[in-house]
Amino acid sequence: MKMTSRKKSILIPLVLVTSIILTSAFQVNNKYFEIARNLEIFTNIYKELNTHYVDDLDPNQLMRSGIDAMMNSLDPYTVFYSEAQVESYRISTEDRYNGLGADMKYIDGKVTVTEIFEGGAAQKAGLKVGDQIVRISGESSEGRSLEEVLQFVRGYPGTTLKLSTFRPLEEKTYDFTLTRSTVEIPNVPYSGMVSDNVGYIALTTFTPNAGKNIAAALRTLRDENDLQGLVLDLRDNGGGLLSEAVDILGIFLDQGSLVVSTKGKVRDRDQNYRTRRMPIDTELPLVVLVNKYSASASEIVSGAIQDYDRGVIAGQRTYGKGLVQNHHEVGYNSRIKVTTSKYYIPSGRCIQSVEYENGEPKDIEDIKREVFKTQNGRPVLDGGGVTPDLKLVKPDLPEIIKALEEGNWLFKYANHYVHHNKAVESLEEFSYNSFEDFVGFLEKAGFVYQTGLEKSIEEILRSSENEHFESVQNELKGIQQKLAKVKSDDLEQHRGLITEMIEEELVKRYFFQEGKTRYNLNKDAEIEEAIQLLTDATRYRGIIS
């Protein structure tokens, strides 16, 4: 009996579908087999080492080393937290930041307060910049990582925290009892006019109400001035809430515009985010300033503005963080924070860096990055952050400045200066003309530094000690002496730049974030570049069209 053509046409697709299903099932089963096989091997190795290794082993430490190695092979944002870490430091997964209203970092081996936010618990309690955290709720901070300490001081609003700090300049220890609060760090520390027709808004973080505050600032600038251009400053903005990024984009883009998508392995969890509000202004010329510390939500905003050709992105390539993390329980009160998806902006590109070095994103050559197109057809690249339309070169810092920053000498001197001088009442009254005092401070502290060239010469001299190159060695030593003479003039040679950096440290202590932003406006070369672009309509249109 012959098969009809109709039966054939039905049978062939059925065979294909069955084949695809069987192939998929085989691939899934094969993957599960590989997982089971490798887990068995890992368990057997773990048992053998514990049983037969020549020295006693700590099973917990051995397993933790294996887990850490596994985590290190992934992106730096996928992290395992043991039961002890979860219990002691209470990982915060809330959108709101609750804590002391202070920034901290490691300086000279101590967790040190580096900034106090106006109106926060730290300021109200009397903590000072430069205080070293000694004990937290009776527990020593010695040996704790900065992340552990920061997680520990955070908590629910209204709860109390006992801190002991050491104040080096007074050589005293202080005990504080602080009441945690929702830290209202001003996300828009300053907005105002930077020329007759160009406005400026600084956004430091994407905390709650960031979109609302930017909208209010823009309306005020527009209502009170002949506003013909706007600079939105996202430099050094490490990101924050995705919802605020969407709200900010809604100020400048048409309602319903797709601004970001999240895509991961589980397709059912993929999401598209569109602007929800009626825009305030979709035509006002816009320059968004970014740098290598602009990350996450900052990259979503700047990337979407670029993809829609809504404004010009100016500065340096951004950080390159386009990942979404979620927390999952993994048993015995342990937890893992795992990357579950990536952010994609309107052109379809992902801004996430794909290469890392020492846990930090590594610059990827443009030739290795895939090309996408903006709404107007301009080529843009994926991976490794957002590349500005207008690249503003950041000059390399002189060796002396790098040495001062690496040793936190400007920070230490500012603490010294504030301790020995009376407070300044207003920003308009502030002036600093004590550079010689700074030089004396460094001399008394025994400040020395080594240039890269000096390090290379020392290495060559050490490696050639057993060689017969006396004449070459003498020449190198002569160069060392000349370098020492040049270095002795370095502080004076870079007096202007060093003075500006000292002033920034001092203003931040006296007048917080708002004062720092206002003080720097008049001498910011990148803002001046943005103003020039916004006042040249032909050049502006030429970039985005």
Catalytically active residues, by annotation:
296, 307, 321
Task: State whether residue 351 is helix, strand or coil.
Answer: coil
CA dist 14 and 7 (Å) reads 11
> What value does the CA radius of gyration of the chain take, rounded to a whole number of Å?
28
**Token pair 């001046």 is at which residue?**
528
- β-partners of residue 314 are 289, 390
Scanning the structure block, which residue is given the tokens 């230490």?
412
Place of tokens 């392995």: 265
Read off the amino acid at residue 454.
Answer: E
Q: Are strands 323-331 and 312-315 parallel, antiparallel or unpaired?
A: unpaired
End-to-end Cα distance, the chain: 68
User: E strands of 64-126, at which residues?
Assistant: 79-81, 98-99, 102-107, 110-116
Beta bridge pairs of residue 177: 162
Q: What is the DSSP string of 187-204?
A: SS-EEEESSSSEEEEE--
Q: Which two tokens stand for residue 318?
A: 């951004």
> Of 485, 486, 502, 487, whose CA–CA distance to 435 is shortest?
502
Q: What is the DSSP string of 413-451?
A: HHHHHHHHSPPPS-GGG-----HHHHHHHHHHHT-----
537 near 302, Cβ under 8 Å? Answer: no
Pairing of strands 172-179, 160-167: antiparallel
DSSP state of 141: -
**Residue 497 exposed, middle or buried by CB count within 10 Å (0-12, 13-18, 19+):** middle
Residue 444 CB burial class (10 angstroms; 0-12, 13-18, ≥19): exposed
CA angle (315 as vertex; 309, 319 as ends), nearest 5: 95
Residue 77 CB partners (closer than 8 Å, separation 6+): 321, 323, 325, 337, 339
Partner residues linked to 105 by β-bridges: 112
SS3 content of the chain, % helix, strand, coil (to 5): 45, 20, 35
